[in-house]
Structure 1
Amino acid sequence: MKLRFFGSSLVSSYWNGAATYYRGLLKALAAHGVDVVFYEPDAYQRQQFRDIADPPWARVVVYPATAAGWQQALDEAARDADLLVKASGVGVFDRELEIAVPHAVRSGAHCAYWDVDAPATLDTVAGDPDNHLRDAVPRYDLVFTYGGGDPVVEAYDKLGARACVPIYNAVDPETHHPVPARDEWRCDLGFLGNRLPDREARVDEFFLDAAARAPQKSFLLGGSGWDDKPVPANVRRLGHVGTADHNAFFCSSVATLNINRASMARYGFSPPTRIFEAAGAGACLITDRWDGIADFLEPDREILVVDSGAEVAAVLERLDPARAHQIGAAGRARVLSAHTYAHRARQVLDRLGTPGFGREAAE
């Protein structure tokens, strides 16, 4: 199968939280013989902040972030694609691509919309009766999503999607695994995430409030955009942390905090990549509460669940390194047994192998 995929970036995680999702999933699909070509725009300085070279399992096409650039890239991609994919959040000319892709597919081929931020997308569409996706979504043969469970599937059904299949984040054991801690990054609690509008208030609530309540503990904040954010004195800011350093980040703290963005927490069943990456590295995970956690990791044994910054501070007060190691080891065992990208790739291929996987399969 020839898969032609339009996404934000495969080679750079700079302002691109979906990078490791793309890498893990497409690498696993390529292992099954899928011919992958990834199309990404030259935008947001991502090419200047690459984390990886072009991988051996995919051809990467970087096209100019112009009207002519995306059109030429789409013409090339559609020429031989068996499955033509437009991911959400490419970053430039998203609307134009989302409208154009279903019309560009050659006879006998299929197209899919791959939503890597379904809760935010659906909230945007719900608040805009003229949103282009209302007309575009029914034209795609299939919608894949980063997650979201039944609430996201039901919302896409209401938009007229022919079929909607959540393909959750996972771990690539070759990429995320335990490594020695870095002395300069040792801390009691680390959080890794870019500063985004629907995340910042929850970072204030769960991370910075916890730091203010536990001045004797040390906190490490990684991710882009936090440079001018006021923080307590016991919080150190790292700025952008490339994927090559993620394992060391997770392995240098007693615990790692996951904070779902507001929309993801509201829909539930949307574990971000950081959950699986940190678990793969053997980190002791603390997460804000959201529906569906137990489908991925068992609370109190493989992950700790909190409802506020005050609870985060209380957890840190009683969490010793031995207990943290025990939780991290249990979480790592769980994701390796059930939540690798090899598991997710099999789900994708099984769905694509369903006869008439578009509207006919849904009816």
Structure 2
Amino acid sequence: MHVVFLGLSITSSWGNGHATTYRGLVRELERLGHDVLFLERDVPWYAAHRDTRGALPGRTELYSSLEDLRARFTSEVQRADLVVVGSYVPQGVEVGGWVQRTARGVTAFYDIDTPVTLAKLGRGDFEYLSPALVPGYRLYLSFTGGPTLQRIERELGSPAARPLYCSCDPELYAPRDGDVRWDLGYLGTYSDDRQPVLERLMLDAAEAWPEGRFVVAGPRYPEGVSWPPNVERMQHLAPPEHAAFYTAQRFTLNVTRADMVRAGYSPSVRLFEAAACGVPIISDDWEGLGTFFTPGRELFVSHGAEQTLRYLRELSEAERQEVGRRARERVLGGHTAAHRARTLEGYAREVASGRAP
């Protein structure tokens, strides 16, 4: 197939989880023999934080405006077998309308932010998707599974809403030798809804255990956040640095955005990445978590600082390592970029043949 993606970013992971998802997916589609073009709006904040080392997979082109996109890439979209528009694409409603009018192959919307998208639509915020566009995409690919998929079909009129969860790139995320520096770490961009959970599960634990070593890495944290003295702060880490960061922790923390907790069945990419590194995960709880990892066997669930500290201080080293090993096996068996590429390939071929995927 000739595949065209119009996504938020593949060149920079600064402040977003889209880039690593697209890099792995594009690379694996290429390995399956497909020709892939990725189109990205050139914006200053990503231009200042390009974080790729070496060539990107596929072909990547930057465009400066909607007019530039139409002028230079209409023929690419017309001849594509599959055109995928991602969530949070600048002027996404206009881009989506143009794609639906122009493409002759299968069109798809790839929602890397499904619960956020549905909440925005519910309050009339059509930043990158409008209800009128949904029926025109022959596929609605969602980071969220479960009952949300039926809602997208029933309420928004999607012909086929299907899960295409996030994944990990096992070439980047794998166990590494090195010194363990922290008892518990967290990697994530600041958000208002995640911060109270971070405080409850990690910062309160750090306050209660001054001898413990903690770290939080990620951009956009406001100056007013109160960090306990035993919590180290790091700014943005590029994806090539993630594996070393994870493997320098005894445990890593997963915190889920409030909209995704309400929807359920919305695994964070950090879950799969950390698990692929063999690092035991302590996660907040949400419906559907057990679909991806078995609590108590492949990760740990915490509801507060006291429970977090029990894991950190009472689990044996052998049990800690065994949970990390099981989680890595689970990811490599079903949650890599190669798995997602084959899933997308199957969906597109079934839709093109007139069947529901």
* Letter matched to residue 97 of structure 2: I
Aligned to 1:193: 188
Structure 1 residues 238 and 355: alpha-carbon distance in aligned structure 2, compared to 1, 3 A threshold: closer
Q: Given the alignment of the two structures, is residue 79 of structure 1 paired with residue 83 of structure 2, yes or no?
A: no
Shift of 1:272: 0.9
Counterpart of 1:27?
A: 27
- How much does 1:118 deviate? 0.2
Q: Is the Cα–Cα contact under 8 Å of residues 13 and 243 in structure 1 kept in the other structure?
A: yes
**Taking every aligned residue pair, what percent have the same amino acid on both sides?**
34
Of the three residues 160, 164, 168, the one matched with 2:165 is 168
Measured after TM superposition, the shift of residue 96 of structure 1 is: 2.0
- 1:140 and 2:100 matched: no
Cα deviation for residue 23 of structure 1 reads 1.4
Name 2:232's counterpart in structure 1. 236
For residue 14 of structure 2, what is the aligned residue in structure 1? Answer: 14
Letter in 1 for 2:79: D
**Mean Cα deviation higher: 243-252 or 7-16:** 7-16
After TM superposition, the structure 1 = structure 2 runs for residues 211-360 of structure 1, keeping only pairs within 5 Å, are 211-226=206-221, 228=223, 229-354=225-350, 356=352
Equivalent residue for 2:95, pick from 94, 97, 101: 97
Structure 1: how far apart are the matches of 2:302 and 2:353? 40
1:46 CA displacement: 1.6
- Structure 1 CA distance for aligned equivalents of residues 334 and 75 of structure 2: 37
1:338 positional shift: 2.2
1:142 partner amino acid: L
Equivalent position of 1:210 in the other structure: 205
Q: Distance in 2 between matches of 1:56 and 1:13?
A: 13
Q: Which amino acid aligns with 1:94?
A: G
Q: Is the 2:79–2:103 Cα contact (8 Å) retained in structure 1?
A: no
Q: Secondary structure at the match of 1:179?
A: coil
Residues 246-290 of structure 1: CA deviation (Å, up to 9, x unaligned): 001100011000111111111111111111110111111111111
Amino acid corresponding to residue 187 of structure 1 in structure 2: W
Q: CA RMSD in A?
A: 2.1
SS at 1:197's partner residue? coil
Distance 2:73 2:202 in 1: 42
Alignment-derived partner of residue 51 in structure 2: 51
Structure 2 gaps of 5+ residues are: none
Cα distance in 1 for residues equivalent to 2:137 and 2:271 = 30
* 79 and 221 in structure 1: CA distance in 2 versus 1, 3 angstrom threshold: same
Q: Measured at CA, do residues 130 and 237 of structure 1 come closer, stay the same or move farther in structure 2, by a change above 3 Å?
A: closer
Shift of 1:150: 2.1
Is contact 1:282–1:332 with CA below 8 Å preserved after alignment? Answer: yes
* C-alpha distance 129-182 of structure 1, shift in aligned 2 (>3 A): closer
Unaligned residue ranges in structure 1 (runs of 5+)? none
Name which of structure 1's ranges 168-177 and 155-164 shifts more when overlaid on structure 2.
168-177
Please give the secondary structure, in 2, of the residue aligned with 1:111.
strand
Structure 2 counterpart of 1:85, which letter?
V
| Residues 167, 272 of structure 2: 8 Å contact kept | yes
Encode CA deviations 1:325-348: one digit per residue, 9 max, x unaligned: 121111111211222222222211
> 1:45 offset after TM fit, Å?
2.4
On the 8 A contact 2:215/2:233 being kept in 1, the answer is yes
Total equivalences in the alignment: 354
* Partner deviation per Cα, 1:203-230 (whole Å, 9 max, x = no partner): 2332222222332211100111126232
Distance verdict in 2 for CA 1:79–1:325, change over 3 Å = same
Report the TM-score, using the length of structure 1 for normalisation: 0.91
Name the aligned partner's letter for residue 195 of structure 1. Y
Could you tell me how far 1:56 is from its partner in structure 2?
5.8
CA distance in 2, matches of 1:181, 1:114: 37
Question: Could you tell which deviates more after superposition, 76-85 or 251-260?
Answer: 76-85
1:193, CA displacement in angstroms? 0.3
Q: Which amino acid aligns with 2:33?
A: G
The amino acid of 2:51's aligned partner reads D
Shift in CA distance, 89/174, structure 1 to aligned 2, threshold 3 Å:
same
Q: What displacement does 1:10 show? A: 1.2
Measure the CA separation in 1 of the matches of 2:182 and 2:56.
36
- Aligned counterparts of 1:72 and 1:213: Cα–Cα separation in 2: 59
Change (3 A) 1:41 1:187: same
CA spacing shift, 1:260–1:236, aligned 2, 3 Å: same
Which deviates more from structure 2 when the two are superposed, residues 241-250 or residues 288-297?
288-297
